[in-house]
Amino acid sequence: MSVGIAGYGVYIPKYRIKAEEIARVWGADAENIKKSLGIKEKAVAARDEDTITIAVEASKNALEMAKINPKDIRAIYVGSESHPYAVKPTAATLAEAIGATPELTAADYEFACKAGTAGLQNCIALVESNMIKYGLACGADTAQASPGDALEYTAACGGAAYIVGRKSDDTVAYFEGTFSYTTDTPDFWRREGQAYPRHGGRFTGGPAYFKHIVNAATGLMKKLGLSVNDFDYVVFHQPNAKFPLRAAKMLGIDAGKLKAGLLVSETGNFYSGSSLVGLAAILDVAEPNSRILCVSYGSGAGSDAFSIVVQDAIEEKRIERNVAYYLKRKVYIDYTTYLKLRRIVKGG
Label the pairing between strands 73-79 and 134-142: parallel
How remote is the C-alpha of 116 from its chain's centroid? Answer: 7
Cβ atoms of residues 182 and 144 within 8 Å: no
What is the SS3 assignment for 136? strand
Give the separation between CA 19 and CA 42, rounded to whole angstroms: 8
- Catalytic sites, residue numbers: 81, 113, 237
Give the separation between CA 157 and CA 347, rounded to whole angstroms: 20
Cβ atoms of residues 292 and 67 within 8 Å: no
User: Both ends of the chain: CA-CA distance in Å?
Assistant: 50
Is the torsion defined by CA of 197, 202, 203, 205 positive or negative? Answer: positive
Give the separation between CA 186 and CA 207, rounded to whole angstroms: 9
Cβ atoms of residues 261 and 281 within 8 Å: yes
What is the SS3 assignment for 294? strand
Q: Which helix (H) or strand (E) holds 91?
A: helix 90-97
